[in-house]
Amino acid sequence: MSAFSSLGKTLKEAFQRFLASPSADRNAVEELVRGVQRSLLVADVRVELVSKLSERIKERALAEKLPPGVSRKDHVAKIVYEELTSLLGRKPVKLSPDGKKPYVVMLLGIQGTGKTTTAAKLANYLKTSGYKVGVVCADTYRPAAYVQLQQLLKPRGVEVYGEPGVSDPVEIARRGVEFFRTMGVDFIIVDTAGRHRSQEELMDEMRRLGKAIQPDENILVIDGTIGQQAGVHAAAFHEAAPVGSIIITKLDTSAKGGGALSAVAETGAVVKFIGVGEAVEDFEPFNPGGYVASLLGMPDIESLVERVRTAEVEMDEERMKTILTGRFTLEDMVSQLSSLTKLGPLKKILGKLSLPGMDALSDTEFEKAEERIKKWTAVVKSMTAKEKQEPAIIDSSRIRRIARGAGVSERDVRELLKSFQASRKMMKDRKIRQILRQGRGRA
Ligand SMILES: Nc1nc2c(ncn2[C@@H]2O[C@H](COP(=O)(O)OP(=O)(O)OP(=O)(O)O)[C@@H](O)[C@H]2O)c(=O)[nH]1
Ligand SMILES: [Mg+2]
C-alpha cells in the first residue's frame, strides 16, 4: 500500500485540476488553495498551520514577479511545492556511522508504535545498504519480540541478541552491545520495551539505558495515526534525548500522516524514516521534497522547481545590474535582499561569495540581518507607490503610518531609509562598483 493514498488523493486531485485548468488566474489559484486546505485539514494538520500556509501560497502566487520564460502555472506549482515541503520539515541528515564503529542506535517509543517492526525494517535497510548489522532485543515484557525479530532477520543475514528469561533490560542491552562490538558490526540497533509505560517512565528508562550503552543516536518511533499529537511526543523527547531523530510509522493506514509529519517538523525534530506497511520492506528514508512530489502526483516536479529557480536567479541578475549602475529604487534594494535569503540561510550564501570579513560574523549577527530583511520587506510593502519612487518625501508622519502598517517600529523604517541612501551613495562611487563587479565575476 502506498503511504500517500489518504492524504495524497484530494491533494493530488486539486493539484492536477489546477494544472489542467485553462489559465492560472486568480480563480484557479483560489480553488487550488481551497483544495490544499481541505486535504491538509483532513490529514489533521493544525488549523493555524493550514491557514498560514494557504495565505502564503495565495500571496506569493499573486504578488511574486513572474521570471522571464516561466508560465504562471509553473510558477504557482513551484510555490505550492515549496510551501508544502517546508511544512513537512527540513531535509534530513542521513543515518550514517560517521566514522564510528559500531554506531549504536536505540529505538524508543510508547507501546505498540512499531518499535520492534521498525528495528527489523531498519536492520534490513542498513544490511541491504551494505552494512554489517546486529539487533539487540531489550524488551523484557514481551518475550515474543525476540522470537519475532529472529524470524524476520535470520533469513536476511542479520543476527539478533536476546536473553529470554532475564528481567533487567539495562543488563541485556549492555551485554548485547558488547557482543556485537566484539563481532565488529557497523550498526547496533537496540529495541526497547514500550509496555505499561507512561511518557515519564519511558523517558526514565531511556535515560538509564542511555547511561549504560551510550547510544550514538536515539530514535523515537511515533505512530503516525495519532496525527498532530505526534508534535507533543516529539517535543518531550527532544528535551530528554541528547541526540535524536524520529521515525513515523503506519503512514499507510491513516489519513493523519500529514498532521503527524507537520507537527513533528514544527518542533524542529528531524524525521529520518517512515514506515509504510507491515512488511520488512515497507520502509523508506524520509525526504520532505520527495514526499510532496508523490503527494502532488508529479514525481518530476523537482526539475520544474529547479528551472523556475534558475529563471529567478537570472531575473535577479538583471536587478543586480540596475543596482550596479547606482540607479535603483527602494523596492529594488529590498527585493534583491529578500531574494538572497530565499536561496537559503544568509550565512551560507555569503559564505559562498567568500567576502572578506564574513567569517568574523556570528550566527546571531546573521540571524539579525535576516530578521532586518524581513522587516524591511514589510516596510516597503506598506509604502505608497509615490513613496517608493521618491523616498525623499517620507516625513515623520509618513514614517509613523508606514511603521504601523508594517507592524514594525519607526526606528526600523528610519533605518531602512538611511541604509537606502547610504547604498545609493556608495553605488555611485565608481571604485566600489568596480570592486563589486570583480567580486561577482569570482563568485
Ligand atoms: N500498517 C502498518 N503497520 C505497522 C507499521 N509498523 C508497525 N506496524 C504494526 O503495528 C503493530 C505493533 O508493532 P510492534 O513493532 O510490535 O510495536 P512495538 O512498538 O514494538 O510494540 P511494544 O513493544 O509492545 O511496545 C504490529 O501489528 C505491526 O505489524 C507500519 O508502518 N504500517
Ligand atoms: Mg516491541
pLDDT along the chain (443 residues), means of 10: 58 91 90 92 92 93 86 93 91 85 94 95 96 94 90 95 92 96 96 79 85 94 94 85 88 88 90 95 93 87 89 74 70 73 60 55 72 87 89 93 94 90 75 61 44
User: What's the CA gap between 1 and 297, in Å, rounded?
Assistant: 16
Q: What integer pLDDT is reported at residue 3 of this predicted model?
A: 47
Q: Tell me which ligand sits closest to the C-alpha of residue 162.
A: 2
Decide whether any atom of ligand 1 lies within 6 Å of the 224 Cβ: no
- The grid coordinates listed for 183 are 563481532
Ligand nearest to the CA of 222: 1
Residue ranges of the chain assigned to CATH 1.10.260.30: 325-442
Is-contact 323 332, C-beta < 8 A? yes
* Ligand located closest to 110 CA: 1
CATH homologous superfamily of 103-286 equals P-loop containing nucleotide triphosphate hydrolases (3.40.50.300)
Of all atoms in ligand 1, which is nearest to the CA of residue 121? 6
The pLDDT of residue 1: 39
The pLDDT of residue 7 = 61
- What does the pLDDT read at residue 346? 59
Q: Residue 429: how many CB atoms within 10 A of its CB?
A: 11
Q: 69 CB under 6 A from ligand 1?
A: no
Q: List where CATH 3.40.50.300 sits in the chain.
A: 103-286
Question: Which of 117, 251, 274 has the most ligand 1 atoms within 8 A of CB, as the residue to mutate?
Answer: 117
Q: How far is CA 381 from CA 169, 312, 387, 408, in A?
A: 60, 20, 11, 12
Dihedral pair phi/psi, residue 300, rounded to 5°: -100, 20
Ligand 1 neighbourhood includes 114 CB (under 6 angstroms): yes
Does residue 121 line the site of ligand 1, with CB under 6 A? no
Q: CA-to-CA distance for 131 and 435, rounded, in angstroms?
A: 51
Q: Are strands 133-138 and 217-223 parallel, antiparallel or unpaired?
A: unpaired
**CB of 257 sitting under 6 A from ligand 1:** no
Centre of ligand 2 to C-alpha 110, Å, is 9
Q: How many whole angstroms from its chain centre is CA 83?
A: 10
Q: Which of 149, 147, 144 is nearest to 134 (CA)?
A: 149
Domain 325-442, what fold? 434 Repressor (Amino-terminal Domain) (1.10.260)
Longest dimension (CA), the chain: 84
115 close to ligand 1 (CB < 6 Angstrom): yes
Q: Buried b / exposed e across 286-302, counting CB within 10 Å, b at 16+?
A: bbbbbbbbebbbbeebb
Ligand nearest to the CA of 196: 1
The answer to whether residues 191 and 137 touch, using CB atoms and an 8 Å cutoff, is: yes
The number of the ligand 1 atom at minimal distance from the alpha carbon of 111 is 25
Q: 241 CA to middle of ligand 2, Å?
A: 20
What residues form the annotated binding site?
Answer: 109-116, 191-195, 249-252
Quote the CA–CA distance of 227 and 46 in Å, as a whole number: 9
> What type of residue sits at position 275?
G
CATH topology of domain 5-89: Four Helix Bundle (Hemerythrin (Met), subunit A) (1.20.120)
Known binding-site positions for GTP: 109-116, 191-195, 249-252
Strands of 25-92, DSSP E: none
Output Rg (C-alpha) for the chain, integer angstroms. Answer: 26
Rounded to an integer, what distance in angstroms lies between the CA atom of residue 104 and that of residue 175? 13
